[in-house]
A and B are shown apart, each in its own frame.
Chain A
Amino acid sequence: ETGVTQTPRHLVMGMTNKKSLKCEQHLGHNAMYWYKQSAKKPLELMFVYNFKEQTENNSVPSRFSPECPNSSHLFLHLHTLQPEDSALYLCASRRGLTASGELFFGEGSRLTVL
């Protein structure tokens, strides 16, 4: 148990569906992150939030829409995805944006786009 909980753990969706991934952290951290993990590739940073304000969008297509209503919750809204978007989506949190310390990851949401 890392203190970062992601739901759902598995999601299958068609290209025309709209779905959302949810992340909740119980660590009192201020910074939250979305990463995409694909086989044989480095973890790709997608979005960064600090005190619920977006500080980084790593050129992510607009079919991915993040939302951070407070420092403990982070969502990733998905719509009109492509099969190449199938991957493991990881949420992470850290004490602060400038802290070079540990990133705490959730267990991920495995997304399959048909």
Chain B
Amino acid sequence: QQQVKQSPQSLIVQKGGISIINCAYENTAFDYFPWYQQFPGKGPALLIAIRPDVSEKKEGRFTISFNKSAKQFSLHIMDSQPGDSATYFCAASINTGTASKLTFGTGTRLQVTL
């Protein structure tokens, strides 16, 4: 129940295209859904996050779409650029009262080609 399933494992998109990464969860107690971006040789960094009371959040070219009834959320990268080539992790957080615990997906390696 604590798992977050992420797909695809890897993705190749042409420059200017749309990159879409999907995640699904089971535990309806999750209350915060961040996406982290990790470049080679770097640690993950927060990219964008959403709470379950909204269906979409947009920051520049990055959009999270959230479907509460389906227990799914996705990251859309519009006008993908070579500089977006990185590994993307979705995550889900649950607050137990004494701690906020993050569960990560397995990651999607995105390559944006020229």
Contact = CB atoms under 8 A, between A and B. Distances in A.
Q: How large is the interface on A (under 10, 10 to 19, 20 to 34, 35 or more residues)?
A: 20 to 34
A71 B44 CA distance: 21
B interface, over-half SS: strand
A2 B43 CA distance: 9
Contact of B104 (A43, A107, A108): A43
Given A40-B9, A108-B43, A100 B106 contact: no
| Residue from B31, B43, B99, B105 whose CB has the most chain A CB atoms within 10 Å | B43
Interface in A1-58: 2, 4, 40-43, 45, 48, 50, 55-56
| Residue from A56, A92, A100 whose CB has the most chain B CB atoms within 10 Å | A100
B45 interface: yes
Interface residues of B, number: 27
A98 B45 CA distance: 19
B44 A43 contact: yes
Interface string B86-114: 00010001010111111111110000000
A107 B99 contact: no
B42 interface: yes
B45 A43 contact: no
A111 interface: no
A92 B44 CA distance: 10
Contact of A105 (B45, B49, B99, B103): B45
Contacts of A41: 106
B46 interface: yes
Interface in A81-114: 90, 92, 94, 97-100, 102-103, 105-108
Interface of B: 4, 9, 31-32, 34, 36, 41-46, 49, 89, 93, 95, 97-107
Interface of A: 2, 4, 40-43, 45, 48, 50, 55-56, 90, 92, 94, 97-100, 102-103, 105-108
